[in-house]
Structure 1
Amino acid sequence: MCGAPKQGGALAGVDLSTQTVIQGSVWHDGSPVAGAYVRLLDATDEFTAEVVTSPEGEFRFFAAPGEWKLRSLAPVGRAERVLSAEVGLNETTLAIA
């Protein structure tokens, strides 16, 4: 079982001047996708972490600055996005076609 924290919610208590936060949401046909698996892969496509989206389709990772790939897997399909994360809040959306 994954030990990831509950997804979504505020970032109260998180020092965004020292933390790199990657967060966003998964969408399909104009609606958030709850229960999708979102994987965090490093620059070499190596698996780093995985979380399940909240009822609002939200996810969050705490990572190091650098190049990352996000991959969502859900019964309605999958999506990928590459992003360059910096210290602070890095937000993105994964749209399943």
Structure 2
Amino acid sequence: MCAAPKQGQTLPAGVDTEKETVLTGQVLDGSGNPVAGAFVRLLDGTGEFTAEVVASATGDFRFFAAPGTWTLRALSAQGNGDVQVSPEGPGVHNQDVTVAK
């Protein structure tokens, strides 16, 4: 079975957070427990699909994006959830997504 590596805390070597906008976080259930294997989608400011990753075994996900308004949407057997994030510039922007039925 394929699984995404832990993506939340450690960025790959060579990522310059002075130039890159990184959206990272964790998918959590209503009790605050990580949700492994959730599909996490990145939607642009108009709601259009941009990218998708599978959350790691610890619920972590990461996207490289541009400054602007984005929606993070998590889809899982435990439920779904959305959260909006609006990074204004480069850096690591952490935003967890809580899912519920």
Q: TM-score, normalised by structure 2?
A: 0.86
Partner in structure 1 of residue 95 of structure 2: 92
Q: Aligned to 2:54, which of 52, 55, 74?
A: 52
1:68 is aligned to 2:70: yes
Distance in 2 of aligned mates of 1:60 and 1:81:
14
Unaligned segments of structure 1, at least 5 residues: none
Distance in 1 of aligned mates of 2:78 and 2:58:
16
Contact 1:7 1:52 in 2 (8 A): no
Please tell me the root mean square deviation across aligned C-alpha atoms, in Å.
Answer: 1.4
Q: Aligned to 1:79, which of 68, 72, 81?
A: 81
**How many pairs are equivalent?**
93
Q: TM-score, normalised by structure 1?
A: 0.89
Distance in 1 of aligned mates of 2:5 and 2:54:
9
Contact 2:6 2:58 in 1 (8 A): no
Distance in 2 of aligned mates of 1:89 and 1:13:
14
Higher relative strand content: 1
Partner in structure 1 of residue 22 of structure 2: 21
Fraction of identical pairs, as percent: 49
